[in-house]
Amino acid sequence: MVNKFAVLDSISKPGGESNEDLIGITDSCVWLLDGATGLTNSNVLPGNSDAGWFVQAISRNMVKNLQEEIPTKLVLENVINSVIKEFETEATQENIEDIHKPSASFTIARIIEDSVEIGNLGDCRLIYKKCKGQVNAFGTSRVTELDRSVVQKIVDLRNQKDINNDELWLELKDILYRNRALKNTDEGYWILDLTLRSIPHFQQASISVKGTEAILLVSDGLYRLVDTYHLYDDESLLKAAMKFGLHELYDRLRNVEKLDHACRMYPRLIPQVDASGLLVSLG
């Protein structure tokens, strides 16, 4: 019986000064975290990035808490409770508003006996190929819809007037804060944060170990190749990753972004963001 993953390829590259994505790997479990960049330049934790601190704390505690007999939702509860304690010890401010506390999208694949449990919170994606050739994608989030509303606002503003990036931020500030305030609410989207509110909404499914050839976990930065630049769909992205490797996909991603650094051809808030992917087989 297969009881471990074989890593075929991985990549995690920053879009700016720091990388707020993180890949986690054990024999029987792999995951990818994509930290939500803060809305201000003021950190509430030590280090360059609160989101970076958060994904590292989550991943570190995942390794400590993963036990085969414990359901994934309970693992996540234990992880979050541990990270909350670390946050309370390390936070550099008191009475921090929830909107300024870190959060992260999360996707996971975990071997349990003869099945692979896949799970998701937020806008990461997991794409898997069955041995018979069928390709499926897993993971949805309303944050994708909210991001599209921001992009549409950008398009509308640029159609109305000539606007630079600083002016654009001022125009978008209210909608960005409003969207972030919807974190882990019934009206908004579900994501890992310093509460347990999202755990009941953790998306889960089970696929057969025997019938699965490969699994690809991607952050939204790498998934821009699909949903922003439309160079691939889910199936062709996975096939390209298996044939050419994730570094070649990354190079293609950055080449497109370099050619459209002004974000005119492909409207987006930030020219390039962190991009991560992990490709595994069951071997």
∠ Cα 20 93 97 (to 5°): 75
DSSP 95: S
Confidence of residue 151 (pLDDT cuts 50, 70, 90): very high
Q: SS3 for 70?
A: coil
Burial of 204 (0-12, 13-18, 19+ CB in 10 A): middle
Name the residue type at position 123. D
pLDDT tops 80 at residue 2: no
Binned at pLDDT 50, 70 and 90, residue 15 comes out as very high
Q: Taking a C-beta distance cutoff of 8 angstroms, is the pair 99, 177 a contact?
A: yes
Q: Decide if 275 contacts 253 (C-beta within 8 A).
A: yes
Residues of the chain with pLDDT > 90, as a percent, come to 82
Confidence of residue 30 (pLDDT cuts 50, 70, 90): very high
**Nearest-CA neighbor of 125 among 228, 194, 200, 39?**
228
Rg for the chain, CA atoms, rounded: 19
What pTM was computed for the model? 0.95
DSSP state of 189: B
